[in-house]
Amino acid sequence: MHPVVNQLIQLEELILIRDEQKFMSGDAHLDNLNAAIKGMTAKLPRDIREHAEKLTNKQQSAIVPIAEQVCSGCGMTLPISLVQAVRLAREVHSCPNCARMLYFVESAAKRIASKRRRTGRQKGGIARFSAPSLMIPELSSASVEDVIAEMASKMEAEGFVEGSDKLVEAALQREAIVSTAVGHELAVPHVRGVEGGGLALAVGLSSKGIQWDGDCDQPTRIVVFIVIPTAASAFYLKLLAGLAETFSDADARKTLLDEKGAEGLWKALQKLTRKTVK
Ligand SMILES: [Zn+2]
């Protein structure tokens, strides 16, 4: 990969993580992230830096992946010659439509589009992104790595995603930058940039608690694992904020943790997030 493309991807990651932190836990880690973003921006070649800043000032990603010949920033189908050039990565290329810079991913995990359910009432709230089959009332794993693997496998087994091993790898890379334990016994490990489909989430409970992050005073008991296709990357910040809001309330956590079955957990989750996840 072109070294500048690599730098831009890392920079993009840090900017997104800073946004996540703002939405989930206020000022925690913000100074460190801001310093890292500044340092990394300064290292970019001048023309690329100006191009990137123009996009980030408009709250847009400076660099986005090509998914199946389509710019995942704006959805335009790209000429094959451009896709090939991006793939060869001898220089940095931009989307002719939205100006975002582009990179090529050999293969990403895939979100499988759910089959159209029988027609009926349109689902609202968190029910759009999950199902009773993705509720795990008692996680059997005890470490961060194993919990993420358990939840990703569940998603794959239930037909929501393909390539759970890639999801695990990406989720752990994300954890390594800044932990997704946001306090209040809640952790929200997640993977962005998944191909296709819509956002999906699984919920797992741990009555014993998991030591998610050294900084957290309480062990994690509620884990929400989220898979985020690029198209949903604007919405997921609101989802994170909604979940953090709901579970900052001790009564809400207790209600959820008292559920012992998947159906009950599913119903409780919908009820508790009715006002915070629209
Ligand atoms: Zn584009």
Q: Spell 147-161 as b/e; 16+ CB within 10 A means b.
A: bbbbbbbbbbeeebb
CA dihedral 140, 141, 146, 150 (to 10 degrees): 20
Residues paired with residue 67 on neighbouring β-strands, in sequence order: 70
Q: Which residues touch 17 (CB under 8 Å, ≥6 apart)?
A: 33, 174, 177, 178
The per-residue pLDDT string of the chain (278 residues; one tens digit each, 9 = 90 and over) reads: 789 998 999 898 899 888 888 887 767 678 888 999 999 999 999 999 999 999 999 888 899 988 889 998 899 999 999 999 999 989 999 999 999 999 998 777 788 876 544 444 567 899 999 999 999 999 999 999 999 999 999 999 999 999 999 999 999 998 988 889 988 899 999 998 887 778 999 999 999 999 998 666 789 999 999 999 877 777 888 899 999 999 999 999 999 999 999 999 999 999 999 999 98
Confidence (pLDDT) at 4: 94
Cα(108) to ligand 1 centroid in Å equals 19
Centre of ligand 1 from the C-alpha of residue 64, in Å: 8
Measured in angstroms, how far is the CA atom of residue 32 from the centroid of ligand 1? 31
Q: Which CATH class is domain 3-104?
A: mainly alpha
C-alpha 262 to ligand 1 mean position (Å): 41
- CATH 1.10.287.1490 residue ranges of the chain are 3-104
What CATH fold (topology level) applies to the domain 110-272? Answer: Mannitol-specific EII; Chain A (3.40.930)
The pTM of the full predicted model, rounded to 2 decimals, is 0.85
Q: Taking Cα atoms as reference points, which of 196, 197, 195, 180 lies closest to residue 239?
A: 180
